[in-house]
Amino acid sequence: MNSIGYYPGCSLSGGGIELDLSIRGLAQLAEVELREIDDWNCCGATAAHNLDHNLAIALPYRILALAEKQGLGEVLAPCAACFSRLKGTNVRLERSGDLKAKMQTIVDLPYSGSVKILSITEFLNRLMELGLADKLPKKLTGLKVAPYYGCLLSRGEDIVSDDAESPSAMEAALRATGAEVVDWNFATECCGGGFSMSLTDAVLDLSNAILADAKAAGADCIVTGCPMCHSNLDMRQLKIQSSGMGQYDMPVLYLSEVLGLAAGMGCDQLGLNRHFIPAMALAHRFDPPPQAAETAEAVSDQRSN
């Protein structure tokens, strides 16, 4: 059985729980064991690099050192922010021996730099190669998706391997599910990131513009890989709608949830029941609840006739 290190990060046991549930489900399906880093800590996120440049490296350094000690050659960091902090730390340590020595003193753990960090898209594309692509029995035909990369899955030199202005890392996997990828303009625009509570109006503005463009492009849902983007586009959509900025009812799904749907995993298993903007109706187009299954089949028969 293949195995890979796993750094869930803090969001994945709270606001981003669907991401954790759907990733674990897909890994199991692709027969890849996720080996969680023992006693991992927070990567420091936005707060650490805003207030203390040493802390911003030291916190990820401890995580990387623990992973190395545990013998993990590759570690998945599904949250885009954790990914950016962890891989960014690797890049900086590699560039500067002085920084590495300083961190070893601060954290009091050795780290040679051997741990490779994978983003959610790199990981899911790997699963597809490892056989997941053959385990997607449900075709999400007719589902129009707007892949949303936001900031940290598109930008960061030496961190993100995709094209910064026109990323495409989600597209092959989305097309493999039978979904249609819409052409839209806001795939790499910022949602306001960590300002959800501290500068809420800006988050509402920026997220509103993203939702409006997805709607204008005819998308049925936005697909993301970042818990922060998810929270701003999904949870904050309630406020965007109640304050009259726009009316979208636009479900926001993690890429892993979309793949899970195509793999035939249940809505509850994927966490689709936990969204603020209901995603169940959309999911039920492809995964009808037992009592509705016959009706849905009848409808789809009619459509195909």
Partner 1 sequence: MSHTQQSELGARIAEQTGMNVLECYQCGKCTAGCPMAKYMDLTPSQVMRLCQMSDEGAKEQVLRSGAIWTCAGCLTCTQRCPKQLDPAAAMDVLRELSNREKMTSPQRRKILAFHKAFLTTVRKTGRMSEFPLVRRYKISSRDFFSDVLLAPLMVAKGKLGFKAHKIKGRSQIKTIFQTCADLARK
Q: Which residues bind partner 1 (CB under 8 A)?
A: 10-11, 13-15, 17, 39-42, 44-56, 58-59, 62, 105-108, 151-152, 155-157, 164-165, 189-190, 192-195, 197-200, 202, 206, 235, 238, 273-276
Nearer to partner 1, 44 or 260 (CB): 44
Give the span between the Cα atoms of 33 and 29, in whole angstroms.
10
| Least separation in angstroms between CB 32 and partner 1 | 25
Kind plus residue range of the DSSP H or E element containing 293: helix 293-304
Q: Which residues contact 230 (CB under 8 A, 6 or more apart)?
A: 15, 16, 18, 19, 224, 252, 254
SS percent in the chain: helix, strand, coil, step 5? 50, 10, 40
Question: Which of 12/127 has CB closer to partner 1?
Answer: 12
**H/E segment holding residue 73:** none
**Which is nearer to partner 1, 61 or 123 (by Cβ)?**
61
- CA-CA distance, 78 to 263, in Å (whole number)? 19
What is d(CA 58, CA 63) in angstroms, rounded to the nearest whole number? 9
CB neighbours (10 Å) of residue 33? 11
Closest approach of Cβ 49 to partner 1, in Å?
5
Q: Which 3 state secondary structure label does DSSP give 108?
A: coil
Nearest C-alpha neighbor of 40 from the set 61, 55, 57: 61
Min separation Cβ 38 and partner 1, Å: 9
71 Rama sector, left if φ>0, alpha if ψ -120 to 50, beta otherwise: left
> Quick one: 199 or 298, whose CB is closer to partner 1?
199
* CB of 52 or CB of 129, closer to partner 1: 52
Please, which residue, 155 or 284, has the CB nearer to partner 1? 155
Toward partner 1, which CB reaches closer, 117 or 173? 117
CB of 164 to partner 1, least distance (A): 5
Shortest Å distance, C-beta 214 to partner 1: 16
Closest separation in Å from C-beta 83 to partner 1: 13
**For partner 1, the closer CB: 177 or 188:** 188
Q: How far is the CB of 244 from partner 1 (least distance, A)?
A: 17
* Helices vs. strands in the chain: H and E counts, helices first: 14, 8
For tokens 């590495």, name the residue.
Answer: 100
133 Cβ contact partners less than 8 Å away, ≥ 6 residues apart = 176
Distance in Å, CB of 108 to partner 1, minimum: 7
User: CA-CA distance, 42 to 9, in Å (whole number)?
Assistant: 6
